[in-house]
Amino acid sequence: MQLQQLKQITQHYHLNENGILAEKMPFSEIPCALLYGQALTFTQVTDFAHNFSARVLGAFIEGDYLAVILQADFPLNARLVANEMSLDFAFLNYQAQLSQKGLLLMDMDSTMIQMECIDEIAKLAGTGEEVSAITASAMRGELDFEQSLRRRVGTLKNAPESILQQVRAHLPLMPGLEKMLKTLQQYGWKIAIASGGFDYFADFLKEKLQLDFAVANQFQIENGRLTGNLFGAIVDSQFKAQTLQALQEKWQIPATQTVAIGDGANDLPMLALANLGAAFHAKPKVQQKAQVVVNFADLSALVCLLRATEKLQQYQQ
């Protein structure tokens, strides 16, 4: 079905066999954007393009997604219009490309995995409702992250370390994560975790997924039980942003090849610092401020976003 839709788009918009604008035209300062989805149809493309008087520059298939690059003076509500069609939309205002080595820094809870670890731990410790309320408020940016974190961890005092093992044994990976990681690793990307969660899980995922680096908060554990305290520095929003910068310098990655993905308010500084900052199925406050928002696609959409800049470069040649 995707190939059939691509052929329709290619024929209707006079694109060549590679889905690229057939007639070379001078590029203007008018911005370009990406419209993509697993079930993107020819009709949706034509309706969207007509609605914004957009020029279709090209179309391509990347993994499970059909993607179209358009050029127009899009208003800020263009993403909302796309979302109403159950499609994702992103301005191509970043330079990061898939085929060049880069750095991806990811949040963990509710980004790499389909849970908030502290919530699952608290359920086993009998403090689930209390911790969930604090977590939700913190992720909305209503509470200072460090204070809320210490409050949540404090509820776990005297809980056995074995409950951490129970949670770690059943970490549900986010759809598209492994596919996305495999593709980036094939192109030599460095991939790291910076989590406001806990190293008990981040280090485990680093080893399991063969990532390059992980940093997270550390539980203080004595005699096989949680003390209700944390050990070492707190991985908060500024710590995450500093980690991105430090890893970029350590691995000598160009600033234009830095990418960050997260979903919570404490991810905003690192999203803002990266060349491509993507809010993945994020909280409303994060969606309002993020450069790129992914609401419908899974994590493999990052490959589509990185491929789009390469396609756009081809159109401009």
* Lookup: tokens for 147: 């204070």
Q: Measuring CA to CA, how many Å separate 231 from each of 146, 218, 222, 245?
A: 13, 5, 11, 23
Q: Tell me which of 109, 263, 267, 298 is the catalytic residue.
A: 109
Tell me whether residue 107 is one of the annotated catalytic residues: yes
**Gap between the Cα atoms of 277 and 260, Å rounded:** 5
Q: Which of 117, 99, 100 has the alpha carbon at shortest distance from 108?
A: 117
Known active-site residue 298: no
Angle between helices 42-51 and 2-12 (to 10 degrees): 40
Residue of 64, 73, 88, 107 marked catalytic: 107
Q: What is the distance between the alpha carbons of residues 151 and 229, in angstroms, rounded to a whole number?
A: 9
Catalytic site positions = 107, 109
